[in-house]
Amino acid sequence: MQSFISSFLFALSNRLRYLKSSLLFKVRFYKYHGYFPDLKNPQTFSEKLCYRKFKGDAVEFSNIADKFAVRDYVTRIVGENYLIPLLGAYDFIDSRIWENLPSSFVLKTSHGSGERHVHIVRDKKSANDIEVINQINESLKEDFGLVSLQPFYSVKKRLVLIEELIGHGDIDDFKFHCFQDEVFIQVDIDRHVGHKRALYDRNWNRLDFHLGTCTRAEVGVPKPKNLEEMLTIAKKLANSMAYIRVDLYNVDGKIYFGEMTIAHGNGMSPFTPTEMDMEWGRLWRN
């Protein structure tokens, strides 16, 4: 009887935890989008992103969400010349590894996103090495898939990646939202200070709607001379998926692969006007 009661209480505890997290998710979704999500019959872009998070194939998506594993995918599909040079991949870093690094580089975890998981070191001599090392190693311990409710970030071995620092200053980030028959280009400017964003179609016409909570850029971004090459790379990497976001950098005419994002903005990036949420949802054909 005691064993039965323990099992019952454990199952009840798990159920209550699930209901709590489910309620918090729905409240958060409403906060950003102004409506409660229908994940049984998702229609909008944001609903389909969240459906993918909870119901998608986490193992399959992990092969491209993992920032180390995806390098093999990029090499196979478009070639390794589009990869940012990798200086090392480690289970953790210490002062010995730090000492052997060049004067500038980027530290990132293979499984996470955001400021805690990415450190840009522009001048090693002026950086607080102990603080940076401790922060990146602590981020390595975090189960980002569990924290963000994106399970495809949980199933791979976690590593600290060290890449060359490309470009000078805060370079523009070109994010290609790839549907099977359409591509939209999001350009993020000054991401670390005064983050702004502009949206374009594939012909580089400025779009009159906005995506996200950052500021809409008042001044447009010049059309890249090698835009067609960037579009070709993005579509090849998208590989006929119903939807995927492919991030690229363009530094002095040289194209670099950034990452592939399964659930843009974790499903919490609002449209202005909100009608575009349904428009993008129609483009996403399963």
Is position 33 within any domain?
Answer: no
Last residue of a domain, one of 163, 178, 212: 163
- Do 189 and 141 lie in one domain? The reply is no
As a dihedral over the C-alpha atoms of residue 13, residue 18, residue 24, residue 30, rounded to 10 degrees, the angle is -150
Q: How far apart are CA 106 and CA 86, in angstroms?
A: 10
Residue 18, pLDDT > 50, answer no
Is residue 8 assigned to a domain? no
Query: Does 216 share its domain with 158?
Result: no
Do 196 and 136 share a structural domain? no
**233-to-82, 147, 227, 273 alpha-carbon distances in Å:** 9, 31, 10, 30
What's the pLDDT score for residue 84?
97
Domain of residue 121: give its range: 82-163
Task: Residue 169: name the closest of 220, 107, 124, 104 by CA.
Answer: 104
CA-CA distance, 34 to 270, in Å (whole number)?
9
Split at pLDDT 50, 70, 90, the class of 255 is: very high
Last residue of a domain, one of 110, 140, 163: 163
User: Based on the number of CB atoms within 10 Å of its own CB, is 114 exposed (0-12), middle (13-18) or buried (19 or more)?
Assistant: exposed
Does the residue 48 lie in any domain? no
- Give yes or no for residue 48 having a pLDDT over 90: yes
The reply to whether 215 and 276 lie within a common domain is yes
Do 268 and 189 lie in a common domain? yes
| Residue 60 forms part of a structural domain | no
- Checking DSSP bridges between strand 118-121 and strand 173-179, what pairing results, if any? unpaired
d(CA 111, CA 250) in angstroms, rounded, equals 24
Condensed to tens digits (0 to 9), the pLDDT of residues 77-102 reads 999 999 999 999 999 999 999 999 99
Q: What integer is the mean pLDDT of 250-260?
A: 95
Selection from 207, 184, 205, 187 nearest residue 196 by Cα: 187
**Cα separation, 194 vs 130, whole angstroms:** 28
The tally of domains found in the chain comes to 2
**Residue tagged 């000054």 (tokens):** 190
> With 80 as the cut, is the pLDDT of residue 281 above it?
yes
Where does the pLDDT of residue 205 fall: very low under 50, low under 70, confident under 90, or very high at 90 and above? very high
Least confident of 17-26, 103-112, 183-192: 17-26
At 115, list the tokens: 């400021």
What pLDDT does 191 receive?
74
Q: Is there a domain that residue 139 lies in?
A: yes
Q: Are residues 141 and 187 in the same domain?
A: no
* pLDDT for the residue numbered 256: 97
Highest mean pLDDT among 47-61, 138-152, 167-181, 225-239: 225-239
Same domain? 253 vs 149: no
Higher pLDDT, 163 or 11: 163
Question: At 114, is the pLDDT very low, low, confident or very high (cuts 50, 70, 90)?
Answer: confident
CATH number at residue 240: 3.30.470
89/157 same-domain check: yes
Place of tokens 């002026």: 126
Domain assignment of residue 20, yes or no: no
Q: Is the pTM of this model over 0.85?
A: yes
Residue 174 and residue 279 in one domain: yes
Q: Residue 9: pLDDT above 70?
A: no
On whether the CB atoms of residues 48 and 243 are closer than 8 A, the answer is: yes
Tokens describing residue 2: 């005691």
**What pLDDT, on a 0 to 100 scale, did the predictor assign at position 234?**
98
Amino acid 193: pLDDT: 79
Residue 262 belongs to a domain: yes
Tell me, yes or no, whether 180 and 156 share the same domain.
no
* Final residue before a domain boundary, out of 140, 163, 186: 163
Share of the chain above pLDDT 70, in %: 92
Pair (151, 200) in one structural domain: no
pLDDT surpassing 70 at residue 1: no
Weakest-pLDDT range from 28-37, 94-103, 189-198, 235-244: 189-198
Q: Is 12 part of a structural domain of the chain?
A: no
Same domain, 178 and 136: no
When pLDDT is averaged across residues 25-49 and rounded to a whole number, the result is 95
